Amino acid sequence: MNIARHHRLAVARTRPVETSAPLGRAAERLLDQLAAAGAYALTDPIDPDMLILRGGGEGVSLGRGRCPVSCGEALLRAGLVEREGERRQRLVLSDAGGARLRRRDRPGEVAFLAQHLDLVVDRAGETPVLRDASESPLAWMARRRGRDGAPLIDAAAFEAGERLRRDLTQAAMLPQVGLDWSRVKVDGGGPRDPAASSDRRVVAKERVDRALATVGGDLSGLLIDLCGFLKGLEQIESERSWPARSAKVVARIALGRLAEHYGLAREAVGPDRSRSRAWRTGR
């Protein structure tokens, strides 16, 4: 890395933090791009005035474009990104950066809550409500990176787990877990046809039964705990008397099988090449 550029980025991080200060358009765009799962930026070894945007781990790197180093400096000064990885060369979204994006994207009364929580609109039940996505261990696994820099689960595995959770919720097979955000108004809510709702529950339960049968008995129980009851990996290990860090391995296998069942195909094509996914009709 160019020493002068490295020094500028290091100095930028030590200046006073103001997460609500206005950013330039290019810096805002960089912040948006770093919000993607596994995304990071690093200085271009050929052109030290530019940052290279990447996504994925060491083995699979997805090119996302380039932007001026000054954008990274602006985000560092604002505390919206932080350094990680070997020799701390990568810029990744910080908690403050995520909070700023949530605050920006949520209007009115939801904005304050969204700044401190990961609120999303959940339309799996009878009425659209807000829920705190950070309660989900799937979200934690998607954000958490291993030693190779790759997220613990990829986008296909995350979507598979979320799809199972939605079906479990729509089928009314689980009690409500976490905080109740239903008191916060969400556009699109309103009374539904009871007969149609009953039909949706039946169809959702059939989808759940098929998915769990395909995955298999041993793994299906873990998926219900992980995706339905939102149990963390450590809790799963404790309840099942498993060795430490073993739940992570088993969960990745289970979510991989679930992704295959749902038709979420994944193909890694190597460094600096794109990864293609075929999103087929859910089963």
Q: Tens-of-pLDDT digits for all 283 residues of the chain?
A: 454 455 455 444 444 444 455 678 889 989 988 888 788 898 988 998 999 988 765 544 455 688 999 999 999 988 889 988 766 788 998 888 887 887 666 554 444 444 444 444 444 444 444 444 556 788 888 888 877 878 888 888 989 998 999 899 888 887 654 444 344 444 444 445 555 568 888 999 999 999 999 998 889 999 999 998 889 999 999 999 999 989 999 999 999 999 999 998 554 433 333 333 433 434 5
- Distance, in Å, from the CA atom of 113 to the CA atom of 96, rounded to the nearest integer, reads 14
For the CA atoms of 282, 221, 234, 260, the dihedral, rounded to the nearest 10 degrees, stands at -30
Neighbours of 4 (CB within 10 A): 9
Question: Both tokens of residue 14?
Answer: 């030590």
Cα angle value 71/110/102 (rounded, 5°)? 20
The residues, any chain, with a CB within 8 Å of residue 183's CB and separated by 6 or more, are none
Contact in structure between 215 and 261 (CB atoms under 8 Å): yes
What is the reported pLDDT for 56? 61
CA distance linking residue 198 with residue 253, whole number of Å: 33
Q: How many CA atoms lie within 13 A of 16 on its CB side?
A: 3
Supply the pLDDT for residue 155.
87
Confidence (pLDDT) at 230? 87
Name the burial class of residue 86, with classes exposed (0-12), middle (13-18) and buried (19+) by CB atoms within 10 angstroms of its CB: exposed
Buried/exposed code over 131-146 (b: 16+ C-beta within 10 A; e: otherwise): bbbbbbbbbebbbebe
Q: Are 12 and 77 in contact (CB under 8 A)?
A: yes
For residue 60, the model assigns a pLDDT of 45
Q: What are the angstrom distances between the C-alpha of 241 and each of 90, 161, 220, 236, 247?
A: 37, 23, 17, 8, 10
CA 60/CA 42 separation, integer angstroms: 16
Closest CA to 226 of 162, 176, 180, 170: 162
Query: From residue 28, how far is each of 72, 84, 104, 235, 243 by CA, in Å?
Result: 10, 20, 11, 38, 43
pTM: 0.48
Sequence letter at residue 130? L
Q: What is the pLDDT of residue 266?
A: 55
Is there a contact between 82 and 36 (Cβ–Cβ < 8 Å)? no
Q: What's the confidence (pLDDT) of residue 274?
A: 37
